Structure 1
Amino acid sequence: MKQIGLIFLALLGFCSLSGCGTGGPALGQVEGTVTLDGVPLPGARVIFSPVDGGRSSMGVTDGSGHYELEFAAGSKGAMVGKHRVNISTFEAGEKDDSGQLVGFVPERVPAKYNTNTTLEVEVKRGHQVIDFPLQSR
């Protein structure tokens, strides 16, 4: 019986840290499609960062450019409120045992959508579709 109580306390602690349950922030479920010059952009990280502070949410686009945000493990969405959005395909990669660079992916998205982002959106309660039709120029 003591073990069941300890397991319950551990789960309760995990939920409070990950934002699940009634004590977490209000979330809105967000999904959408990212295109670059009208073409779906696969493998892009889409990061929503709350303007007023708080935990960011992230999703990665699939082969059709579709993303769905995750707030924490097993918790989908983003905090309700205004967010600055960063979209990037860059992966630094690393050197393998032979000194060859592996995993490097160049940035395909202009800086105005990532390092110098101008993208801002408002996340509301409930489900919403937020598409990003990006332009290379």
Structure 2
Amino acid sequence: MNNFRRAVRGGAALGAVVALAFMAGCGGPPKAQVSGTVTFDGAPVENGIIQFYPAGGAGQTAGGGIENGKYQLETSTGEMTVTINASKVVGKRAMYDTPDSPKVDVLKELIPADYNTTSTLKVTLKPGVNENVDFNLKSSKK
């Protein structure tokens, strides 16, 4: 019985070492650190959201905030479809249909649908650092 216990403990220790070595050697699919600027009609987008979707459907979808025209995030590599949203407050409305209802902001999307709901933006990201992945958006395509 003692030999059996030693064998089990030795096997468990060996299994743990093999699992740790496997995990250390397998970091998963390659990642891309991506950063850049987003402008709309020549001005930096003050506050918004940028999202990267794998064009072929395989890979990690990632998104992040845009602040003062700059963004930075980590996502999958390869060809990505990009969506960009930014809104501004255009008024207030009651949250509920009661006289003492709190007010909430009414927002209007600033960025045309060509850059978000029907995005035509594409970019190919390589493993590692991808800097200056900039998007210069325009209110109308001329």
Distance 1:78 1:102, change over 3 A: same
Structure 1 residue 51 corresponds to structure 2 residue 55:
yes
Gaps of 5+ in 2: 1-22
State the shift of 1:102 in Å: 1.8
CA drift at 1:51: 1.3
Letter of the structure 1 residue corresponding to residue 76 of structure 2: M
Aligned: 1:119 with 2:118: no
Q: TM-score, normalised by structure 1?
A: 0.69
CA separation of 1:122/1:101 partners in 2, compared to 1, >3 Å: closer, same or farther? Answer: farther
CA contact (8 A) 1:83 1:123 kept: yes
SS of the equivalent of 1:58 reads: strand
The code of the aligned residue for 1:78 comes to T
AA partner of residue 127 (structure 2):
R
Structure with the higher helix share, 1 or 2:
2
What is the match of residue 109 of structure 2? Answer: 107
- From the superposition, tell whether residues 136 and 22 of structure 1 become closer, same or farther in structure 2 (CA, over 3 Å): same
Structure 1 position 103, deviation (Å): 4.4
Q: Is the 1:94–1:104 Cα contact (8 Å) retained in structure 2?
A: no
Corresponding letter in the other structure for 1:109: I
Q: Deviations over 1:46-101 (max 9, x none)?
A: 000011223211111112x00012xxxxxxx110111110001249x993784445
What is the identity percentage for the equivalent residue pairs of Structure 1 and Structure 2? 37
2:109, 2:79 → 1: CA distance?
Answer: 26
RMSD: 2.7
| 2:7 matched residue in structure 1 | none
For residues 99 and 90 of structure 1, do their structure 2 counterparts lie closer, same or farther at Cα, with a shift above 3 Å needed?
Answer: farther
Query: Helix, strand or coil for the counterpart of 1:105?
Result: strand
Residue in 1 aligned with 2:78?
Answer: 81
1:95 is matched with which residue? 95
Equivalent position amino acid for 2:43 in 1: V
* 2:3 paired residue number: none
* Counterpart-to-counterpart distance in 2, 1:88 and 1:94: 24
Q: Tell me the equivalent position of 2:135.
A: 132
* Bigger strand share: 2
In the alignment, is the contact (CA less than 8 A) between 1:46 and 1:61 conserved in 2? yes
Total equivalences in the alignment: 109
